[in-house]
Amino acid sequence: MLNLPWQKSNALQKRAFKVMPLGVNSNFRFWGEGITPYLQKAKGAYLWDVDGNRYIDYRMAFGPIILGHAYEEVNEKVKQEIDLGTLTAMTYELEIETAEKFVRMCPGVEMVRFACSGTEATMHAIRVARAYTSRECIIKFEGMYHGFQDYTLWSTYAPVEAYGNPRNPIPVPSSSGIPRLLNQMIVTLPFNAPDILENTLRAVGETVAAIIVEPCMGNCGAILPQKNFLQFIRKQCDKYGIVMILDEVKTGFRIANGGAQEYYHISPDLATYAKAFANGYPLAAFGGKKEIMSIIGHGVAQGGTFTNNKPGVAAAWATLTVLQREPVLKTIEKRGKRLMDGISQIFTEAGIPHCMNGYPAMFSFAIGVEKVSDQRTWNESEKEYYLALIEAMIERGVMPDHDPREPWFLCYSHNEADIDTTLDVVSEAVKAVKR
Ligand SMILES: Cc1ncc(COP(=O)(O)O)c(C=O)c1O
C-alpha cells in the first residue's frame, strides 16, 4: 500500500468524489481511496503532485507524450494557431499539410481521416472494414485493448479463467452495459497462436470483416509478436478477404516514425493512431489503402465535430515536424534500452526470475516467469509483487503505472541522469520489497 504524505491529493480526491464517479474522468486514473495522486503540473520528463512531490514520469499519460510534457515547440505552434480560430467546421491548409506529413511518414497509409481519440479511430476503422467487406464479424486478441467502443471491449482484462479453452475461446465482455447481441459479431483468440487463428478462420473466415490487432500487447505487459505472427495474420487476411486493422494507437510515432508498419515491414489494410501523434493534444487518425478509405463518403458515414480541432492539428503538425527533424526515437531507443538492460541486470543480481518485454520506448517486465506469449501465460506472472515494487518506486520519486499491464513509456526529455536515478531507485525498491 502506497505510503506518501498526500494530504492535498486526498483533500482533492474527497472533493472530486462528490462530482465525478471515483473522483476521476477515467477509471484507469483511480488507484484507490487515499492513494491516488492529483496533479499540480507536468514539464519535460517530470510530474509534480499537488503536495509538491516530483516524479520521473514513465506513464507519459499512457503513451502520448513522446517529446516531453509541455514541450515548448509544440505549445508555441498551438498558441500561434489558436488565435486564428479553434474550431470552424471548415477544412484548412495546416490540416491538409498535417495529413500529407502523416501519409508520408506512415508507410501503408495512402489516405487518412482524423478523429479525436483512439476509441473513435478504431470505431471508424471497424465500420469502414464492415462496409468494405459486407461482413460483420470482428476478430480480436485476448488482452488487447482498442478503446471503449462496445465492438471490441471483449476479453480485455477479464480473469483469464473465464476465457475457456484456447482453441475455442469464450468472448467475455469487459463491462456491464455492452449489448449481449454483439457477442455474435466478435471472436476472441489468444495472441501469438497461428494454429488457433488458422483453425478458426477455416471455420468462420468467410464471415469475418476485420482482424484488429495491436502490433504488441500494449495493454498487457508489452508482449511482443512472435516472429512472423503479424505477417501470418496478413496472409490469412488476404486468403479470406478480411481487412487487417493494425491498431497503432500506442506504437504509432513511438517505436519508429512509421510505427510498427515500418518496424515490422508489415502492410495492414487500415491502421489506427492517436497517442504520440500530437504529443498529448487531442488528435487521432485512421487510414490505409486508398481503395478501402475511398468508400468513406459514398454511403459510409464518418465525421465528428472536433475531428479537425486546431489545437490537436497544430500540435500534431509540430510533433511530426520534430520527429522528422531530430533523432527523437533513436535517442529514446538508446536510453530505453539502457533502462531495460539495467532493470534486467538488477533482477538477475537479486535472483529474481523475470522476462523483459516490449520495445525500449515502451516496455514492461513480468516477474516469476521466463517467457510470456499471450494474456494467459502473462497471467501466471507475479502481479502483486510487481505492484509492491512499483509502489516502492513511486514513494522514491519514479512513477511507472501501478498496473502491470501498462508499459513503461519513455520520451525525448528523459535524459541519461534520469535513467541513472531510475536504476538507483529500482535497486532500492528491490532491496526494500520482500518477494
Ligand atoms: C491500442 C489502443 N487502442 C485504442 C486505445 C483507445 O484510445 P483512447 O484512450 O484515445 O480512446 C488505446 C488506449 O489506451 C490503446 O492502447
- Ligand 1 atom nearest the C-alpha of 284 is 10
Name the residue of 65, 120, 144, 146 whose CB sits within 8 Å of the most ligand 1 atoms, as the mutation to test its pocket.
146
* C-alpha 435 to ligand 1 mean position (Å): 32
Please, are residues 81 and 94 in contact by the beta-carbon 8 Å criterion? yes
Atom number of ligand 1 nearest to Cα 248: 1
Task: Please list the residues that pair with 59 across neighbouring strands.
Answer: none
C-alpha closest to that of 328 among 418, 412, 413, 417: 412
The residue nearest atom 7 of ligand 1, judged by CA position, is 118
Question: Quick check: pTM over 0.85?
Answer: yes
Q: For residue 343, report the phi and psi dihedrals to the nearest 5 degrees.
A: -65, -45
CA of 339 to the centre of ligand 1 (A): 25
User: Which residues on neighbouring strands pair with residue 111, listed in sequence order?
Assistant: 288
**Helix H or strand E segment including 187:** strand 186-189
Closest atom, ligand 1, to C-alpha of 144: 1
Cell numbers at residue 401, please? 503505472
Question: Distance, CA 145 to ligand 1 centroid (Å)?
Answer: 7
How much is the pLDDT for 33?
95
Instruction: Say what the pLDDT of residue 340 is.
Output: 98
Instruction: Say what the pLDDT of residue 4 is.
Output: 82
The CA 189 to ligand 1 mean position distance, Å, reads 19
Give residue 234's region: left, alpha or beta (phi > 0; psi -120 to 50): alpha
**Ligand 1 centroid distance, CA of 152 (Å):** 11
Q: How far is the CA of 345 from the centre of ligand 1 (A)?
A: 31
In our burial notation (b when 16+ CB lie closer than 10 A, e otherwise), range 151-182 reads bbbbbbbbebeebeeeeebebbbbeeebeeeb
Residue nearest to atom 13 of ligand 1 (CA): 147
In this structure, which residue's CA is closest to atom 4 in ligand 1?
A: 146
Give, using CA atoms, the residue closest to atom 3 of ligand 1: 146
Domains in the chain, start-ordered, CATH in brackets? 7-41 (no CATH), 72-325 (3.40.640.10)
3-class SS at 263?
helix
What is the per-residue pLDDT for 374?
98
Give me the tens of pLDDT residue by residue for the chain, a chain 435 residues long: 788 889 999 999 999 999 999 999 999 999 999 999 999 999 999 999 999 999 999 999 999 999 999 999 999 999 999 999 999 999 999 999 999 999 999 999 999 999 999 999 999 999 999 999 999 999 999 999 999 999 999 999 888 999 999 999 999 999 999 999 999 999 999 999 999 999 999 999 999 999 999 999 999 999 999 999 999 999 999 999 999 999 999 999 999 999 999 999 999 999 999 999 999 999 999 999 999 999 999 999 999 999 999 999 999 999 999 999 999 999 999 999 999 999 999 999 999 999 999 999 999 999 999 999 999 999 999 999 999 999 999 999 999 999 999 999 999 999 999 999 999 999 999 999 999
Check the CA dihedral 390-393-394-395 and report its sign. positive
Q: Which of 214, 210, 199, 176 is nearest to 375 (CA)?
A: 214
Closest by CA to 378, choosing from 179, 202, 217, is: 217
User: Which of 333, 319, 403 has its CA nearest to residue 361?
Assistant: 333
Ligand 1 neighbours, Cβ below 6 Å, are: 62, 117-119, 122, 145-147, 214, 218-219, 247, 249-250, 274
Relative to the CA of 219, which ligand 1 atom is closest? 16
Sequence-ordered list of residues with C-beta below 8 angstroms from that of 349, at least 6 positions apart, any chain: none
| Residue 275 alpha carbon, nearest atom of ligand 1 | 10
Q: Are 152 and 212 in contact (CB under 8 A)?
A: yes
Pocket test for ligand 1, best of 145, 246, 279, 309 (most atoms within 8 A of CB): 145
Q: Which residues are catalytic?
A: 145, 247, 275
